[in-house]
Structure 1
Amino acid sequence: MSLKQKIWASYIVMIIVPFFLAVLSARLILINYEQGHQLQIIEAVQDEKIREYTDFAEELESTLVNHPDYFKDKLYLERINNKITSFGMGMLIQDNDQFTYNSLPVKAEKLKPYLSKFLEQDISKRWVTAIAKEYIVRCRAISFSDGTTGRIYLFMSKIAPWDPPPGQFNEYVKWVFIIFIICILVTNSFLTYHMSKSLIDPLNSVKKAAMEIQRGNLDYPISYPAKNEIGELYRTFEEMRLKLKQSQALNTQYENSRKQLIFNISHDLKTPLTTIKGYAQGIIDGVANNPAKMEKYLRTILNYAVEMERLTNDLVLFSELDIKQLPFDFETIEINKYLEDAIEELNFSLSENSIDLSFVSHYESQDLIMADRQRLVRVIHNIIENAQKHLNKEHKEIQVILKEDNSGALIEIKDNGCGIPEDKLSFIFDRFFRVDSARNRTTGGSGIGLSIAKEIIEAHQGRIWVKSTEGLGTSIFFTLKKSKYFIVNLN
């Protein structure tokens, strides 16, 4: 149930329940009052009527005892009926099983349900009273002189039982009012408690969780099972906590990366700078005292300067990728021609190091690939440079294999080097990760080459992954989208 529905339900219950309970209580009081005061209500008549009725009752009782045969005399019955009528009563005389006199406006046969109440009661020497639905009936036996028996029934109109005596009406109203107030208080207390449990307690839990986050504790989860506004608040708050925790972890990772970056920069620049400084100082001191030696010193200085430039370019590119500020110029390319040109460019430098670089294509369609030429060649260079560091066989070989699938091109760059341990495969695209933890100029590097490759391929909406077997070599795969499957980001 939603919070809005709960509020409306509470409002309706606040109105209906007290009213229902008050009516029920009033009815119970009324029933109790009716039962306790029924006979008093029946006999609550004016004093004069009471005296007249008392005299009449004495006369009637004397006639029943001393002159019972009078009840067979129609003149007597008419005379006594006049008195009975003045009391708002009616009379019925029964002789054996026959009704011999009836002053009521209804037939005697219809009155039998009322008369059946006296069948099992002793009415020989006393009056017996019974309360029926419409009448109050009094009955007395008649013993006639000829030995037969009969009965006399007096029918009185029933006084409304819900009309309390004037002196007690105010007391009755007071109790109904008190019960109504009590019902409101009880209902209000119950609803207040229920709303407190369903609203205040959950909000206090959220407040406590917020205070924990304020103190920096992001490991304080909260949950609420109901699918209402409070549940949505809990879920939103929990999502915020998880995002804050994720952001905190990311900030920690960035901070560690920053520290690692500073450490790597200082380490990677220290050796070439020291070398350049040493060779430059040798030239100044005249150590390079002939043209051949001078050329060697200058070429060494140039090589290390080029390496420093490459490292600096990698770091700049990495920073631009990291803050999503690197622009991409996507265009359609013929992937076969593009890779042939890139391989030809790389072949010159690799052949100097006795590395055999070959290209095999299984891409037979004319579909164009969407790519940024400059960024994609950086991916290929970085992967091949990484492969060079792990070539340990006499015949060093790197192979570029192009394949095709429905949505794009699959490129595999495969070497026959030493391979990568299985427990390190999942980390090779991480920033600053090095398979060889010993940092030297042979196996070193910035540690961000494959991380840059991963960022560039993902910007091309592709995937990159690795497979390797120790002792046999390593293959790095990446995919590129065909132009018709490339989703242009307009942001």
Structure 2
Amino acid sequence: MKLKTRLVVAFLTVVILPVILSGSVIFAVGKYQMNCIEKTYGISETSVESLSNSIKTLGQLTTKPYRELCDEIDRTPQKMEDAAFLEKINQELEEKKSYLLVRRNDMMAYVGTDYDEAEAVISQLPKYDENRTPSENSIYLGGEAQALVKQIDFQYEDGEEGSAFLVTDVGTVMPEVRAMAREIVIIVVLILLFTIAALIVWIYRAVMGPVAKIQKAAENIKNGNLDFEMPKADNDEFGQVYQNFEDMRIRLKESAEEKIQFDKENKELISNISHDLKTPVTTIKGYAEGIMDGVADTPEKIDKYVRTIYNKANEMNTLINELTLYSKIDTNRIPYNFNTIPVNAYFDDCAEELSMELESKNVEFGYFNYVEGDVKIIADAEQIKRVIHNIINNSLKYMDKAKGMINLRVKDVGDFVQVELEDNGKGIAAKDLTKIFERFYRTDASRNSSKGGSGIGLSIVKKIVEEHGGKIWATSREGTGTTMYFVLRKYQEVPIHE
């Protein structure tokens, strides 16, 4: 789940869940406390609305005592002169947070509470027979009194006027109502705390779990350990971070492996160069000493020694040129000079040059051009010639026949021109065939081999062909020979419609 979605869910949960839980709890607690109030105070049909209206609720407290007292006065009004009876009524009213006042004419005959507390009420009591119709409804006394009063008018046996008042202080709060309010506040607070705590834990785990994994991955990378995998990416913000970290790890690992391989290849290159330079340098040194020591004592010997020195110097120069070119290609700094080249004319010139060179080395050369018309390619003529010469030099290097043979074939294959160079050399083993274009790879791994070369010739060939938008491959049979193929895209004119 996305972090944004989690935050939205958390917000809705904080808003909705406490409301639902609090409502349910308030209903349950309210129902329980209302039942308690009904049983304790004899109030019927209580509701949240009645409890919220304190005047109405307090007025109901004395409803039952009011009715009972009315009935008693109707039956035996003389009891209103009985102090014990009045005390009993007052005790019942005290249980309901009320008290009794009895007035005879204009004098107070009974006061069921401290007189000083009741003085403000007494001063505002309604007159006898002021409310002609008996009613259970309370009379509200304001000012300092702040009380609800229910009045019962009667006459004593001697005919004097009497009034009984059931007084309830409006500041009275029933313990059950207070307890209910306290319980509701506590429960609502607990619900809020529980909801918030649960959401904090939920979001914390959703955030800190991925953060811990990212931190561990960062520590692995810092310590150079790249052999680990990030967790599978989920469809959220952290999933994208996981994927980015995994991509970074892979890139870093590839870079590290490339550096190790590069260092290994450089060491191998230095080893190859040392070996390949050692032979011609030793030869040059030996023949030069022969001339200096007078071993070459005839003009013919001197000429032979000098030519050998010259040829070995050329070998060294070729090796150095190869290394220089490869460093330029490897860093993409080789300056290509692409031009439109006619296929037939270009390869005819190459064949003529190769024929003379191979003839001097006692190698039979065959040239077969199957391209018709004025087919052209876009290429760097010098670099393509370098490709052909490198392939041929590689064939000559591994030629094991007394009478060598090299064939050059040029074919038209649709949108490409295909060049084939076939030899009858020693061939290449199937296990090595896919590796011959790797730099520094040599099928003859023995350093005792008489074959020279740095092992980068065919890798240069591959690089140049690919930079021309073509591709190169080889087929071979051990003991029979090898054929190198490479293709170059034809030049095609785009017609202009006027």
For residues 42-72 of structure 1, the C-alpha deviation after alignment (integer angstroms, 9 at most, x for no partner) is 26756875444125667999xxxxxxxxxxx
**For residue 33 of structure 1, what is the aligned residue in structure 2?**
33
Residue 330, structure 1, aligned to residue 344, structure 2: no
- Of residues 264, 283, 287, the one that matches 2:272 is 264
Please tell me whether the aligned partners of residues 419 and 473 of structure 1 are also in contact (alpha carbons under 8 angstroms). yes
- CA deviations 1:351-381 (Å, max 9, x no partner) are 1222122222232354421111111111111
Q: Which residue of 2 aligns with 1:69?
A: none
Give distance in 2, aligned partners of 1:317 and 1:344.
Answer: 25
Does the aligned pair in 2 maintain the 1:409–1:480 contact within 8 Å? yes
| Contact persistence 1:41–1:165 (CA under 8 A) | no
The residue correspondences of 1:121-200 to structure 2 (distance < 5 A) are 166-200=174-208
Compared with structure 1, are the counterparts of its residues 191 and 47 closer, same or farther at alpha carbon in structure 2 (3 Å cutoff)? closer
Match of 1:232 among 240, 258, 278: 240
Q: Give the counterpart of 2:466 among 434, 455, 458.
A: 458
Structure 1 residues 292 and 35 mapped into 2: Cα distance closer, same or farther (>3 Å)? same
User: Could you tell me the TM-score, scaled by structure 2's length?
Assistant: 0.73
Partner of 2:15: 15
Alignment equivalent of 1:53, drawn from 49, 57, 67:
67
CA contact (8 A) 1:224 1:230 kept: no
**Residue matched to 1:289:** 297
Closer/same/farther in 2, CA of residues 51 and 170 from structure 1, 3 Å limit: closer
Match of 1:42, SS state, is: coil
CA contact (8 A) 1:383 1:450 kept: yes
Q: Hey, what does 2:482 align to over in structure 1?
A: 474
- In 2, distance between residues paired with 1:175 and 1:276? 108
| Deviation at residue 448 of structure 1 after TM alignment | 1.0
Q: 1:224 to 1:437 in 2, by over 3 A?
A: closer
Partner residue, 2:3: 3
Q: Take 1:13 and 1:453, find their aligned partners in 2: how far apart are those partners?
A: 68
Q: CA deviation at 1:270?
A: 0.8
Residues 394-409 of structure 1 correspond to what in structure 2 (within 5 A)?
394-409=402-417
- d(CA) in 2 for partners of 1:472, 1:278: 37
Q: 1:301 Cα shift?
A: 0.6
Contact 2:424 2:480 in 1 (8 A): yes
* Structure 2 residue aligned with 1:304: 312
Q: 1:24 to 1:322 in 2, by over 3 A?
A: same
Q: In the alignment, what sits opposite 2:376? A: 368
User: What letter corresponds to residue 20 of structure 1 in structure 2?
Assistant: I
What SS does structure 2 have at the residue aligned with 1:329? coil
Is this contact kept in 1: 2:398–2:425, CA < 8 A? Answer: yes
Residue 469 of structure 1 aligns with an amino acid whose one-letter code is R
The one-letter amino acid of 1:386's match is N
- Distance (whole Å) between structure 2 residues aligned to residue 54 and residue 183 of structure 1: 45
So what's the TM-score if we normalise by structure 1?
Answer: 0.74
Give 1:210's match in structure 2, choosing from 218, 223, 227: 218
Change (3 A) 1:439 1:55: closer
Q: Distance in 2 between matches of 1:429 and 1:313?
A: 19
1: CA distance between counterparts of 2:62 and 2:430? Answer: 119
Q: Provide the C-alpha distance between the structure 1 equivalents of 2:175 and 2:441, rounded to a whole number of angstroms.
A: 100
Change (3 A) 1:41 1:436: same
**Aligned equivalents of 2:275, 2:349: Cα separation in 1:** 35
Q: Do 2:343 and 2:374's aligned partners in 1 also have CA atoms closer than 8 Å?
A: no
Distance in 2 between residues matched to 1:261 and 1:446, nearest whole Å: 7
Give SS of 2:460's match. Answer: helix
Which ranges in structure 2 are unaligned for 5 or more consecutive residues?
45-57, 76-131, 138-171
- How has the CA–CA distance of structure 1 residues 14 and 453 changed in structure 2, closer, same or farther, with 3 Å as cutoff? same
Alignment: residue pair count: 392
Aligned mate of 2:419, from 404, 411, 415: 411
Distance of 1:48 and 1:205 partners within structure 2: 70
Distance 2:23 2:457 in 1: 85
- The Cα offsets for residues 21-49 of structure 1, whole Å up to 9 and x where unpaired, read as 22222122122223333343526756875
Q: Which residue of 2 aligns with 1:242?
A: 250
Q: 1:403 to 1:41 in 2, by over 3 A?
A: farther
Match of 1:343 in 2: 351
SS of 1:274's equivalent in the other structure is: helix
TM-superposed deviation, 1:241: 0.4
The C-alpha deviation readout for 1:172-208, integer Å capped at 9, x for no partner, is 2222221222112111211111112211111111111
Q: 1:287 to 1:441 in 2, by over 3 A?
A: farther
> Aligned to 2:178, what secondary structure does the other structure show?
helix
> Could you report, residue by residue, the CA deviation over 1:278-315 in whole angstroms, capped at 9, with x for unpaired residues?
11122122222221111011101100011111011011
Aligned pair in 2 of structure 1 residues 183, 50: CA closer, same or farther (>3 Å)? closer
C-alpha separation between the residues in 1 aligned to 2:199 and 2:492? 63
Whichever residue aligns with residue 32 of structure 2, its letter is N
Structure-1 separation of matches of 2:6 and 2:373:
65
The alpha-carbon distance between structure 1 residues 406 and 9, as it changes in their structure 2 partners (threshold 3 A), is farther
Residues 428 and 478 in structure 2, CA contact (< 8 A), matched pair in contact too: yes
RMSD value over aligned CA atoms? Answer: 2.8
User: 2:104 maps to what in 1?
Assistant: none
Asked if the contact 1:411–1:479 (Cα under 8 Å) also holds between the matched residues in 2, the reply is: yes
* SS of residue paired to 2:469: coil
Instruction: Name the residue aligned to 1:424.
Output: 432
- Does the CA contact (< 8 Å) of 2:322 and 2:457 recur in 1? yes
Unaligned runs of 5+ in 1: 62-82, 89-163, 487-491
- Give SS of 1:272's match: helix
- The 8 Å contact of residues 429 and 478 in structure 2, kept in 1 or not, is answered as yes
Shift of 1:214: 1.1
Q: Residue 382 of structure 1 corresponds to which residue in structure 2?
A: 390
Distance 1:475 1:448 in 2: 19
Query: Structure 2: which amino acid aligns with 1:297?
Result: Y
1:85 Cα deviation from its structure 2 partner: 8.0
Q: Following TM superposition, by how much is the alpha carbon of 1:387 offset from its aligned partner in structure 2, in angstroms?
A: 1.3
**What do residues 88-141 of structure 1 show as CA deviations (whole Å, max 9, x unaligned)?**
8xxxxxxxxxxxxxxxxxxxxxxxxxxxxxxxxxxxxxxxxxxxxxxxxxxxxx
Identity of aligned residues (%): 37
Contact 1:363 1:402 in 2 (8 A): yes
SS of alignment partner, residue 434 of structure 2: helix
Cα gap change, 1:325 to 1:167, in 2 (>3 Å): same
Instruction: Provide closer, same or farther for how the CA distance between residues 383 and 48 of structure 1 changes in structure 2, counting only shifts above 3 A.
Output: closer
How far residue 343 of structure 1 moved from its aligned partner, in angstroms, is: 1.7
